[in-house]
Structure 1
Amino acid sequence: MSPPLRLVHLLLWIPLFACGPSLPDDAECAPHDFPLAPAPASTQHVSCSSTQCGDGLNPPTSGPHCANTLSCRAYDTEPNRCMWVHNLEHGHAVFLYNCPEGCPEIVATLTELQKEARVGSNGVVRALVAPDSRIPTRVAALLWRRSWSADAPDPAALRCLLRLQDQGAPEPELPCLP
């Protein structure tokens, strides 16, 4: 095969390798509704110790946040909410769990779903998994101004939520630190 022909052949295969897991179609997502929360009054940067972080919802889905974001990975200690609110602004997905007694099966499910989020230009999946002792349910999944919560993960619902990743985020599609 000549070099130009090899290049054309390679270029035809690249889209296949660039695709991630397939997300559900409209019919599969019809039963799930993820309404937009009200627009925040502010999205300014505040001190990470500020009590004004977030939009007042539990868990917050927008609002004032720290200047820093969290790396997109799974955490086993509770990070500062003010930081992951900034991740939401960048279009990252945030999967939370509240299991004081431990829940390895829930964490494993969320970690698997995290891998189905969109990938940034740096090759890092744009989602994080973290404990949060303040959420009122055992599980929550968040995008900018959207949330889902329950006492057990619902992979179908969470895949449908991931279809909305970046929609409405003020700074969508920004890569996430590993």
Structure 2
Amino acid sequence: MSLLHRALPALLLTSLLACGPSGPDDCSRYGISLSPPPASARHLTCSSTACGDGQNPPTSGDHCSSTLSCRVHDTEQNRCVWLHNLEHGHAVFLYNCPEGCPDIVATLASLRQEAKAGGNGVIRAIVAPDSRIPTRVAAVLWRRSWGGDAPDADAIRCLMQHQDAEAPEPELACLP
């Protein structure tokens, strides 16, 4: 049997496997992508409007020197502040519902409970309204985001598999 005949089954199997998903954490099927590294991730004054990476919602870039408490917020929060949370590996779940959407907030709050906890036991995720996101719902990590018209638990859980993966200061605890 020639070398080619012996190698052919392995080559065919390899090519078939290459066509499928790259593994259980391949979130591209949900429209989740990895943004390029930011040109800068400096600390700015919190009154600055020059934060973020140009994405909407922002996924990295210059940000405030302070962070938000990791909890469910009922008022819109400064993006420059929660960007610092992202740098620490925290997750941010956003919603844009001017008329109110308690069901969406409840779903995001429930998914928030599945995020990693810090050394102080506080869950490292935030839920907050954001009137500037282009979708009704968004979930954001450092350099990664997902958006949709309604919470997609599978997409958000897939995204959360990457919590801390790209964060410059991963696994830092969050204030309650």
Identify the TM-score tier after normalising by the shorter chain. 0.7 to 0.9
What amino acid is the match of 2:68? L
Q: What CA distance in whole angstroms lies between the structure 2 residues aligned with 1:78 and 1:120?
A: 24
**2:86 alignment partner in structure 1:** 88
Matched with 1:157 is 155
Q: Show the counterpart of 1:134.
A: 132
Whole-angstrom distance in 2 between the partners of 1:56 and 1:139: 18
Distance 2:83 2:58 in 1: 7
1:27 is displaced (CA, Å) by: 7.8
- Looking at CA atoms only, which structure, 1 or 2, has the larger radius of gyration? 2
Deviation at 1:31, TM superposition (A): 3.3
User: Cα distance, 1:35 vs. partner?
Assistant: 1.9
User: Could you say what secondary structure the match of 2:128 adopts?
Assistant: strand
Where structure 2 has 5 or more consecutive residues not aligned to the other structure, the ranges are 1-22
1:154 Cα deviation from its structure 2 partner: 0.3
> Structure 1 102/37 Cα, relative in aligned 2: closer, same or farther at 3 Å?
same
- Say if 1:27 and 1:52 are closer, same or farther in 2 by CA, change over 3 A: closer
Q: How many residues align?
A: 154
Pair 1:53-2:43 in alignment: no
1:1-33 Cα deviation digits (max 9, x unpaired): xxxxxxxxxxxxxxxxxxxxxxxx918967335
Between 1:146-155 and 1:43-52, the stretch displaced more is 43-52
Alignment of 1:147 onto 2:113 = no
User: In the TM superposition, what is the alpha-carbon distance from 1:131 to its structure 2 partner?
Assistant: 0.2
DSSP-derived class of the 1:149 partner: strand
For structure 1, the 5+ residue unaligned runs are 1-24
In the TM superposition, 1:21-32 aligns within 5 A as 26=24, 31-32=29-30
**Stretches of 4+ aligned residues off by more than 6 angstroms:** none
Q: C-alpha deviations, 1:123-172, integer Å up to 9, x for none?
A: 00000000000001100000000000001000111111111100010000
TM-aligned CA distance change 1:29 to 1:145, over 3 Å: closer
Q: Secondary structure in 2 aligned to 1:26?
A: coil
2:56 aligns to what SS in structure 1? coil
1:97 and 2:95 correspond: yes
Cα RMSD (Å): 1.5
Structure 2 counterpart of 1:68, which letter?
S
Q: TM-score, normalised by structure 1?
A: 0.83
Whole-Å separation in 2 of the counterparts to 1:47 and 1:29: 34
